[in-house]
Amino acid sequence: MPNKSFLEFFSTETLSWEIRLLIMIGVARALAYLHSKNVIHRGLEPSHILLDEDFSAKLGGFGLATYGPETHVLTEVEGRRGYMDPNYQSNGMLLCNKVTL
């Protein structure tokens, strides 16, 4: 991707808050789309938010992604602490909510 990943800009002040907000809206839309298809990313972190030439967000890093029913209970929780849903971290339950943005 032309602008690499959000990690490149995460701790710097080179991006305006307006651009950061647009990136996060793009991420939210991508996650809503994935959840509408019952796909849960499970690896969302700044290095997996890829930025094109217009700083539009694209998701990468699908190594931990899972597909399942609307409620999916896993016996082994996978992902990086701090980047996962607290409910999933504590009880292993993934919820695919139908959200539209």
Amino acid at 79: G
**Within a domain: residue 91?**
yes
- CA 67 to CA 97: how far, in whole Å? 13
Q: What is the pLDDT of residue 27?
A: 93
**Within a domain: residue 101?**
no
The length of the chain in residues reads 101
Q: Give me the CATH number covering residue 38.
A: 1.10.510.10
**Within a domain: residue 19?**
yes
**Within a domain: residue 21?**
yes
**Within a domain: residue 41?**
yes
Q: What is the average pLDDT score of the chain?
A: 78
| Tally of domains in the chain | 1
Output phi, psi for 84, to 5 deg: -125, 160
Q: In which domain, by residue range, is 40 found?
A: 7-95
DSSP state of 5: B
Q: What is the pLDDT along the chain (101 residues), one digit of tens a residue?
A: 888 999 988 888 889 999 999 999 999 999 888 888 878 777 788 999 999 999 999 999 887 777 765 555 555 666 666 666 666 667 766 655 554 44
Q: What is the pLDDT of residue 50?
A: 94
**Within a domain: residue 100?**
no
